[in-house]
Structure formats: structure tokens, C-alpha cells
Structure 1
């Protein structure tokens, strides 16, 4: 697999985007749950979405898949990046308190693989990832994504401790905020008007470290022309609301704001409205949101 990824990564980015776009559209049009979910989620958020927008969303997912071997296998970051070194990362340095780290949220939007590599050219970053169940695949993913100034933290207690230690060292951590957590590790919060089980980890990390929370998005430019950076600072660099559910709602609203920049680049086929076993009923069914987890991080 390493050789296959290396071979794919030799192709120009514009070629990989063309191939990925065609494959993504093909898969979305095949009979099955994925294409239906993509359409349902997109039209829930944007009822006026056209067929052309749905097709472009499917192409974007294919491009995202083809970007993985490209960025995982190349030793250097040699793609055009707009507003990264002259805006994103300098701005983060300005808002982070002295001696404190920063929590960087990167939703399933655009190309999130390019963000940690770009940040690592300036400062270390520890990225949370959900490890595959197969040990060989887990080792492969961690090995391919880790590099100088990038540490990979698995989504388990050991990985959470890695995030806390990195923040207390004054470093950055990267988290996918719209990943559906396991039961007991999240709370119900609206996402485009529908309850979505959302992580409370970001809230707990900030409570422990007082680190500011920001959200970034690498918008994919046409025909492999590179990426444009976008940034939102949550709560003006201060603390999220005390209530974890309210904090999750702030995060979800910020994701919605970034999606509005280019709605076709969100991963609409992801099962964002999954109901984890044991998570309790969402508020539109139960009447009130279930309590967030009270687990502490050590």
C-alpha cells in the first residue's frame, strides 16, 4: 500500500483532482445508502441545492480521497497556498495567550490534510485521529501522517492525554470537530436545524488549559491550483459557554459559517446525524438534550 500511495502521489494534483472527481461522482450515483445520504444531508442544509451542486459535492469527496496519498507520501509541501503563511498562522500567533496552546478545529470541509503540514512548517501540532480497527492499517495511517513537527494522537484516553500535554506546552492541537463521538463523549446540538450528536472534547480541553479555539478551512481551488485558507475565531478568542451543549452549538454554528463559503466542499456523505448506541434520545424526541459526559481528563 505504501508503494501504491507513493505511485499515486507522483501524479500532478490537477490530474488527481480530475480522477477523484470522476470517481466521486460515479460512486455517488451508484444505488446505495451513500448517494442518498449525500443528497439528504445537502438538501437538509440547502433546500434549494441544484443537481449541479450535488454533483460537485460528490466530485469534491472524490478529490478529498485522492488528496490523501498525495499529501501522505510527499516529503515536501509544494502546492500553492493562499492566505496561509501571511494570514492564518501569523494570526494564530497573535491571539494565543503567552505560554498557552491553541485548539485548531478542522471540519470535514475542503482539504484538511494540507493544514497540519502547513502549520508544521512553523510550529509543532498534535492531531487527533480515529484509528482504524485493523492494527496494520492503524500503524500505516499513523506512520504516513506523522512527520517532523506533526504528532498523531489516537482518539482514546492516551491520545487525549497527548493533546492536554501539547496544549500545556504551549503548542497547537488539531481536531475534527464534526466527528461523531461515542456515547457518553458528546451531547446533542443543532447542525443545520437538526440535532447532531457532537463532541464535548473541545469544551473539556479548553476548560483544562484555557486555550483559545479557532476553526480553519483550506478551500480547494479549481483545476489543482492550490488552496485558500479561511479562519474563524470562536468566542473572540475567549472561553466557550460554560454549558457543554451550548459550547457544542457554538462549534456547529461556526462549521455552518465556513461551509457557507463553499457548500459543495463539505463531506455531505458522512453520517453526521448518526445516533450512537447508548447516547440517549435527541431533544426533538426526548424533549430535552441529554446531559454531557462528566468524565474528567487527566
Structure 2
């Protein structure tokens, strides 16, 4: 696996984007749940979406997948690919110096692999990741993503403690805010007007450390010419509401705002509206039969 990833990473980024785009489009057009989900989620959020936009969203997913070996296996990033020094890091540095660390949310949008590594050039960051079930794959993912200045924290109690300690040291933590949490670790909040089970971890870390919360993504530029960074403060200038349900809705709204900047670069094929096993029904379906509601949310 490591050798295969290394071999893929030797290809130029433009070639990887071309190959990934073709594979992503093919996967979306094959019969199956993935292509249907991609189209359904995109159309729900943007009813006016065109077939061309759906195709581009499928290509973007393929590019995202083949970007992983490129950023995991290269020893250093080509700084010419990204220009975040003017658009992101001065603001992040100011916020981080003023407060007790900073919570950086990076949704499934654009290229989220480039952000931790480019941040680590300036300051250390601890990134949360959902470990695969297979031990060998979990170790592989953690090893590949760990770099100088980048620590990986699994989505376990140990990993949460790592995040809290990093924030208390005044460092940055990175979290995918639109990752569906396990039952008991989230709450239902609207996402494009539809209930989505949303994590409450960000709210807990924010209340524990008072670290400001920002949302950012790296927009993929055409023809593999690089990435441009975008950032928004979440809530009231980086301060979330005291109520966890309200805070989850604030985070989802911030994700929606960033998606509107590059809607074809969002991972629409991700099962964002699923109900985790053991989770309560969303509020507006509480009176409906459980099995029927579960099918609707898949």
C-alpha cells in the first residue's frame, strides 16, 4: 500500500487531477447508490443544478482521492501550489495569539489535505481523523498523515484529549465539521434545510478552552495550477452559542456559506444525512415509523 501510494505521488498533480477526474465521473455514472446519492444531495441543496455541474462534482471527488497520495507521500509541499500567506495565516496567527489556541474547521470541500501541512509551516496543528476499522489501515493512514508539525488524533477519547491539550498549549486543531458522528456524540441540526446528525465536539472544545472557531477551505484552481484559501469566522466573531444545538446549526450554516463559493467541489456523494445506529430520530420525524425514516435519511 505504501509503495503504491508513493508511486502514484510521483505523478504530476495535473496528471493526477486528469486521471482522478475521469475515474470520479465513471464512478458516479455506474449503477449504484453512490451516483444517486451525489445527485440527490446536490439537487436538494441547489435545485437549479445542471448536468454539467453534477459531472464536475463527480470529477472533483476523483481529484480529491488522487490528491491524497500526492500530499501524503511527498516530503515537502511546493509552495507555488498554494498562496495562503496573504489570505489566511496572518488572520489565524492574530487569533491564535489573542486566545487559547484556535479551532480550524475544514469541511469536505476543495482540498482539505493541503491545509494542515501548509499550516504546519507556521505553527503546529493537531488534526482529528476517523480511524478505519482495520488496524493495519488505521496505522497506515495515521503514519502517512503525520508530518513535522502535524499530529494526528483519532476520533476516540484519547484523540479528544489530544485536541484539548493542544488547545491549552495555544496550538491549532483541525476538525472535519461535516463528518457524521457516532450516536450520542451529536445532535440534529439543519443542513441545507434538512436534518443532519452533526457533531457537538467542536462546541465542547470551544467551551472548555474558549478557543475561537474558524471555517476554511482550499479551493482547487483549474488545470492543477494550485489552491486558494478561504476563511470565515463561525458564530459571533468565532464565538459559538452556549446551546449545543444552536452551535451545531451555526457550524452547518458556515459550511453552507463556504460551499456556495465552490459548490461543485463539495463531496456530495458523502452520506451526510444518515442516521447513526442508536441515534434518536430527527425532531421533525419523531412521530413517524423508525424504519421508514431511516430509509429516507440514507
Summarize the alignment of residues 224-263 of structure 1 with structure 2, pairs less than 5 Å apart.
Answer: 224-263=224-263
The answer to whether structure 1 residue 137 and structure 2 residue 137 are counterparts is: yes
Q: Does the aligned pair in 1 maintain the 2:102–2:172 contact within 8 Å?
A: yes
Counterpart in 2 of 1:294? Answer: none
CA displacement, residues 131-176 of structure 1 (integer Å, 9 cap, x when unaligned): 0111111110000000100000000000000000000000000000
Q: Kindly state the Cα deviation for residue 277 of structure 1 after the two structures are TM-superposed.
A: 1.4
Matched, 1:72 2:72: yes
What SS does the corresponding residue of 1:85 show, helix, strand or coil? coil
Instruction: Supply the distance in 2 between the matched residues of 1:212 and 1:99 (Cα, whole angstroms).
Output: 7
Question: What is the TM-score normalised by the length of structure 2?
Answer: 0.94
| 8 Å Cα contact 2:216/2:232 also seen in 1 | yes
**Aligned partners of 2:94, 2:234: CA distance in 1, in Å?**
15
Alpha carbons 1:81, 1:229 under 8 Å: kept: no
Matches within 5 A, 1:166-177: 166-177=166-177
> SS at the partner of 2:92?
helix
CA contact 1:128–1:155 (8 Å) conserved in 2: yes
Contact 1:81–1:227 under 8 Å retained in 2:
yes
Equivalent residue runs for 1:273-288 within 5 Å? 273-286=273-286
Q: Retained in 2: the 8 A contact 1:102–1:211?
A: yes
Q: Deviation of residue 191 (structure 1)?
A: 0.2
Is this contact kept in 1: 2:14–2:223, CA < 8 A?
yes
Paired residues of 2:24 and 2:59 also in contact (CA < 8 A): yes
Contact map agreement 1:79 1:226 (CA 8 A) in 2: no
How far does residue 85 in structure 1 lie from its aligned partner after superposition?
1.3
> Any residues of structure 2 matched to 1:1-298 within 5 Å, and which?
1-78=1-78, 80-98=80-98, 100-286=100-286
Aligned residues: 287
- Partners of 1:136 and 1:55 in 2: CA distance: 34
Does the residue aligned with 1:235 lie in a helix, a strand or coil? Answer: coil
Structure 2 portions without partners, runs of 5+:
288-298
1:89 and 1:27, CA in 2 relative to 1: closer, same or farther beyond 3 A? same
Structure 1: stretches of 5+ with no match in the other structure: 288-298
2:292 is aligned to: none
How far residue 83 of structure 1 moved from its aligned partner, in angstroms, is 4.4
Q: Given that residues 219 and 230 in structure 1 are in contact (C-alpha distance below 8 angstroms), is that contact kept between their aligned partners in structure 2?
A: yes
With the length of structure 1 as denominator, give the TM-score of the two structures. 0.94
Cα deviation for residue 239 of structure 1 reads 2.2
8 A contact 2:214–2:238 mirrored in 1: no
